[in-house]
């Protein structure tokens, strides 16, 4: 949707080149003239960097004209620029490459959609940009604009990498970071252009600066799929009924052992009844439908097992995070502790609460196995699904442990945060439930759809975790049901926080480090942390990465059967746009 901002006119009626100003989430707030945008107080704004390559693998290196405001005379990537209001990224790159170098692009891809940087020159002038990195192939020889480019050279990618490693001061600071990031993604930028399947962010080439690129617009691509909300509704009712009956039986069995065990079942039931969207069971259901098979009510049982496994994880997670609330009610360990106090039992109520919550989680883990083993489907299919179920359980526990290590690691980096997010959330929430559901079909069908489901699942799952991290810091506790202080007090090194630490100036970084992991963190201090995270551009970069992951997910399911494709696109919307 347009926010109604217009470009700046010059006195003679022409449109002056401007930069698009951004808020902390990366959305446009206005424009300012490019000629005066850069100073010691440069506002956060939108830009792009483009790496120009030829079919022979050579990469264009240019030297910025000595009259440039920022980094005059520095060698850098082929072209940089600022998208104009209402311009797509593709239009901006095409325009700027022609203006600066007289070249035409044959094709292009957004290689690093979420690149953000802030750098200061010796005179105090600052660059602070959300700057997607584009790789584009060109033909012909450049005809440089002397006002923009002072010199140029075609060099090999290996030569540029070596220069970054041995003489980074001879290059612009942003190009040094970008070459390193591109090197992590491919051996050569040409691979990003020729690889089968679009890299993250390719769809951003056609995204308008002034348009919210429409989460969910693709959901209408299939008229044969479920209506909005139908993707979850297909499983929610049967799942609720099955879990109620199962927990009723467990309550009777446990209370027959000792009536006091009813307290444990009651906490598990309360957490299950408090809900959540039931995304994981729905992914099991639609993973099965993605194989092309008909609806099968028997799939609800292993889907319910995945939901109980999630309940186990939440019970333990609240202990590890010291979370007092969950889904708008006291967490299990807090509730057990309160019950201990009310009953005037001996010992430490808090330690009792933690211990009881761990045991409740262990019991729920056992019940998840019991539910899964009762699946009334072909034994071979259940055996295939059991393998996935085992992998799912191992990965989520591995991710939880690595999350604890990450929070205690002063050298934690974004690669480690991504690994935790992949194991703890992406695979656990989306990919493995999808593959589990597919495994319940035929072996041939499960193998056929596995690559698409994996690509979709990893993309949506990573975005799900990034949204979770954002909500953990910027969410509304009255909606999420969880305090926005918990992750900060726990000291979680999320991708969002690690990016903020990297982007912060020395004073901001010191403040973040002093308060991250402080169990006595005050609401006012937390507000200051949030302000720093937003002002650095870290929040905006994660938001744009969410959009890129969404585009990857939508493309991945393009060849799946209509109902499954429409449902999975709808669920990508729900997982990524959610406020809880």
pLDDT at 202 over 70: no
> Which of 80, 177, 188, 543 is labelled catalytic?
80
Residues 192 and 207 in one domain: yes
Residues 336 and 459 in one domain: yes
In a domain, 8, yes or no: no
Q: What is the DSSP string of 248-310?
A: HHHHHHHHHH-GGGHHHHHHHHHHHHT----HHHHHHHHHHHTTTPPP-GGGHHHHHHHHHHH
Last residue of a domain, one of 179, 196, 213: 213
> Which of 71, 75, 174, 333 is labelled catalytic?
174
pLDDT at 11 over 50: no
Q: Kind of pairing, strands 126-130 and 45-46?
A: parallel
> Which of 127, 307, 490, 508 is labelled catalytic?
127
Burial class, 260, CB count within 10 angstroms (exposed 0-12 / middle 13-18 / buried 19+) = exposed
Catalytic residue flag (residue 129): yes
Residues 164 and 233 in one domain: no
In a domain, 317, yes or no: yes
pLDDT at 196 over 70: no
pLDDT at 215 over 50: no
pLDDT at 505 over 70: yes
In a domain, 5, yes or no: no
> Which of 38, 128, 288, 340 is labelled catalytic?
38
pLDDT of 207 reads: 76
In a domain, 12, yes or no: no
pLDDT of 15 reads: 59
Catalytic residue flag (residue 80): yes
Compute, in degrees rounded to 10, the torsion defined by CA atoms 294, 299, 300, 303. -130
Distances (CA, A) of 422 to 104, 231, 351, 456: 39, 24, 31, 13
Residues 207 and 223 in one domain: no
Task: Find all residues with CB under 8 Å of 221, minimum gap 6, and list them.
Answer: 565, 566, 569
Domain ranges, residue 274: 219-577
Average pLDDT over residues 334-339: 92
Per the structure, the count of domains in the chain is 2
- Compute the distance between CA of residue 6 and CA of residue 45 in angstroms, rounded to an integer: 16
137 near 108, Cβ under 8 Å? yes
CATH number at residue 255: 1.10.600.10
pLDDT of 412 reads: 85
Report which of 403, 402, 456, 448 is spatially closest to residue 427, judged by C-alpha positions: 456
336 near 361, Cβ under 8 Å? no
- Compute the distance between CA of residue 120 and CA of residue 276 in angstroms, rounded to an integer: 45
Average pLDDT over residues 198-221: 55
62 near 76, Cβ under 8 Å? yes
> Which of 18, 79, 82, 316 is labelled catalytic?
82
pLDDT at 287 over 50: yes
> Which of 18, 51, 79, 129 is labelled catalytic?
129
In a domain, 6, yes or no: no
pLDDT at 12 over 50: no
Burial class, 410, CB count within 10 angstroms (exposed 0-12 / middle 13-18 / buried 19+) = exposed
101 near 13, Cβ under 8 Å? no
Catalytic residue flag (residue 38): yes
pLDDT at 393 over 60: yes
pLDDT of 385 reads: 98
In a domain, 335, yes or no: yes
Rounded to the nearest angstrom, the gap between the alpha carbon of residue 308 and the centroid of all alpha carbons in its chain is 25
Average pLDDT value for the chain: 90
375 near 298, Cβ under 8 Å? yes
Residues 276 and 390 in one domain: yes
- Compute the distance between CA of residue 170 and CA of residue 176 in angstroms, rounded to an integer: 9
Residues 153 and 288 in one domain: no
Average pLDDT over residues 433-446: 97
Q: Which helix (H) or strand (E) holds 380?
A: helix 379-407
Give per-residue pLDDT as tens, 450-487.
999 999 999 999 999 999 999 999 998 888 777 889 88
Binned at pLDDT 50, 70 and 90, residue 224 comes out as very low
Kindly state the tokens that stand for 416: 């480690």
Average pLDDT over residues 390-407: 92
pLDDT of 14 reads: 43
Give per-residue pLDDT as tens, 529-580.
999 999 999 999 999 999 899 989 999 999 999 999 999 999 998 888 877 6
Residues 306 and 195 in one domain: no
358 near 320, Cβ under 8 Å? no
> Which of 51, 117, 286, 333 is labelled catalytic?
117
As a whole-number percent, the residues of the chain with pLDDT over 70 amount to: 92
**Residue of 491 and 448 predicted with greater confidence:** 448
pLDDT of 229 reads: 65
pLDDT at 217 over 60: no
pLDDT of 539 reads: 96
Give per-residue pLDDT as tens, 566-579.
999 999 988 888 77
Average pLDDT over residues 228-240: 87
pLDDT of 204 reads: 81
pLDDT of 200 reads: 57
pLDDT at 183 over 50: yes
Task: Find all residues with CB under 8 Å of 516, minimum gap 6, and list them.
Answer: 488, 491, 497, 529
Residues 208 and 236 in one domain: no
pLDDT of 13 reads: 42
Average pLDDT over residues 301-313: 96
Average pLDDT over residues 346-366: 95
Could you tell me the end-to-end alpha-carbon distance of the chain, in angstroms, rounded to an integer? 23
Range name among 298-302, 307-311, 461-465 with the lowest pLDDT average: 461-465
CATH number at residue 174: 3.90.79.10
Catalytic residue flag (residue 414): no
Helix axes 443-474, 279-289, angle to 10 degrees: 150
Catalytic residue flag (residue 82): yes
pLDDT at 77 over 80: yes
Last residue of a domain, one of 190, 213, 236: 213
559 near 217, Cβ under 8 Å? no
Looking at the DSSP bridge assignments, the partners of residue 59 are 53, 155
Kindly state the tokens that stand for 35: 């000629």
Distances (CA, A) of 286 to 13, 153, 394: 56, 52, 23
Kindly state the tokens that stand for 544: 């744009």
Task: Find all residues with CB under 8 Å of 486, minimum gap 6, and list them.
Answer: 321, 322, 323, 472
pLDDT at 52 over 50: yes
Last residue of a domain, one of 194, 213, 232: 213
Residues 204 and 331 in one domain: no
**Residue 362 three-state SS:** helix
In a domain, 11, yes or no: no
Residues 154 and 92 in one domain: yes
The pTM score is 0.87
pLDDT at 1 over 50: no
Burial class, 446, CB count within 10 angstroms (exposed 0-12 / middle 13-18 / buried 19+) = buried
- Compute the distance between CA of residue 423 and CA of residue 384 in angstroms, rounded to an integer: 20
Looking at the DSSP bridge assignments, the partners of residue 108 are 136
Residues 201 and 237 in one domain: no
Q: What is the DSSP string of 140-206?
A: S-----TTTEEEEEEE-HHHHHHHHHH-GGGB-HHHHHHHHHHHHH-SSHHHHHHSSSPPTTGGGGG
Average pLDDT over residues 176-189: 95
Q: Which helix (H) or strand (E) holds 30?
A: strand 28-33
pLDDT of 3 reads: 32
Catalytic residue flag (residue 174): yes
Task: Find all residues with CB under 8 Å of 369, minimum gap 6, and list them.
Answer: 305
- Compute the distance between CA of residue 580 and CA of residue 475 in angstroms, rounded to an integer: 8
pLDDT of 341 reads: 93
pLDDT of 327 reads: 79
pLDDT at 83 over 70: yes
In a domain, 13, yes or no: no
Residues 54 and 22 in one domain: yes
């Amino acid at each position: 949707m347009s926010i109604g901002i217009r470009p700046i006119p010059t006195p003679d009626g022409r449109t002056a080149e401007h930069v698009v100003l951004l808020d902390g989430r990366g959305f446009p707030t206005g424009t300012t003239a490019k000629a005066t945008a850069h100073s010691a107080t440069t506002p956060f704004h939108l830009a792009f960097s483009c790496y120009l390559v030829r079919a022979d693998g050579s990469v264009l290196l240019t030297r910025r004209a000595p009259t440039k405001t920022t980094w005059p005379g520095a060698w850098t990537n082929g072209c940089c620029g600022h998208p104009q209001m209402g311009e797509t990224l593709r239009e901006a790159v095409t325009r700027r490459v022609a203006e600066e170098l007289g070249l035409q692009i044959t094709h292009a891809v957004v290689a690093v959609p979420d690149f953000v940087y802030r750098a200061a020159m010796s005179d105090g002038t600052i660059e602070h940009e959300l700057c997607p990195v584009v790789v584009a192939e060109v033909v012909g020889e450049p005809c440089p604009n002397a006002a923009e480019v002072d010199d140029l050279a075609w060099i090999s990618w290996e030569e540029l990498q070596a220069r970054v490693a041995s003489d980074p001061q001879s290059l612009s600071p942003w190009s040094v970071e970008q070459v390193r990031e591109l090197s992590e993604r491919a051996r050569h930028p040409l691979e990003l252009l020729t690889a089968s399947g679009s890299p993250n962010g390719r769809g951003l080439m056609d995204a308008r600066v002034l348009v919210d690129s429409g989460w969910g617009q693709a959901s209408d691509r299939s008229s044969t799929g479920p209506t909005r909300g139908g993707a979850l509704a297909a499983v929610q009712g049967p799942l609720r009924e099955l879990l109620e009956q199962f927990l009723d039986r467990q309550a009777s069995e446990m209370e027959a052992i000792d009536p006091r065990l009813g307290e444990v079942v009651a906490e598990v039931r309360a957490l299950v009844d408090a809900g959540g969207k039931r995304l994981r069971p729905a992914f099991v259901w639609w993973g099965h439908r993605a194989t092309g098979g008909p609806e099968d009510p028997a799939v609800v049982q292993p889907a319910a097992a995945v939901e109980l496994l999630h309940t186990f994880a939440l019970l333990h997670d609240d202990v590890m995070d010291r979370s007092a609330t969950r889904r708008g009610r006291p967490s299990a360990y807090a509730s057990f502790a309160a019950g201990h106090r009310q009953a005037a039992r001996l010992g430490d109520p808090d330690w009792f609460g933690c211990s009881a919550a761990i045991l409740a989680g262990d019991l729920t883990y056992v019940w998840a196995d019991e539910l899964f083993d009762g699946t009334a489907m072909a034994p071979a299919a259940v055996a295939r699904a059991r393998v996935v179920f085992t992998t799912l359980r191992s990965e989520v526990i591995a991710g939880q442990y690595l999350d604890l290590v990450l929070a205690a690691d002063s050298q934690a980096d974004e690669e480690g945060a991504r690994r935790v997010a992949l194991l703890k959330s992406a695979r656990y929430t989306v990919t493995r439930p999808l593959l589990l559901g597919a495994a319940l079909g035929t072996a041939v069908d499960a193998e056929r759809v596995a690559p698409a489901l994996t690509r979709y699942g990893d993309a949506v799952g990573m975005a799900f975790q990034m949204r979770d991290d954002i909500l953990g810091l910027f969410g509304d506790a009255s909606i999420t049901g969880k305090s926005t202080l918990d992750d900060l007090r726990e000291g979680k090194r999320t991708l969002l926080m690690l990016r903020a630490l990297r982007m912060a100036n020395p004073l901001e970084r010191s403040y973040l480090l002093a308060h991250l992991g402080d169990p006595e963190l005050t609401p006012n201090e937390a507000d200051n942390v949030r302000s720093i995270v937003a002002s650095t551009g870290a929040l905006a970069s994660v938001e744009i990465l969410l959009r890129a992951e969404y585009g990857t997910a939508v493309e991945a399911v393009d060849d799946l059967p209509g109902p499954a494709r429409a449902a999975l696109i709808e669920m990508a919307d729900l997982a990524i746009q959610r406020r809880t």
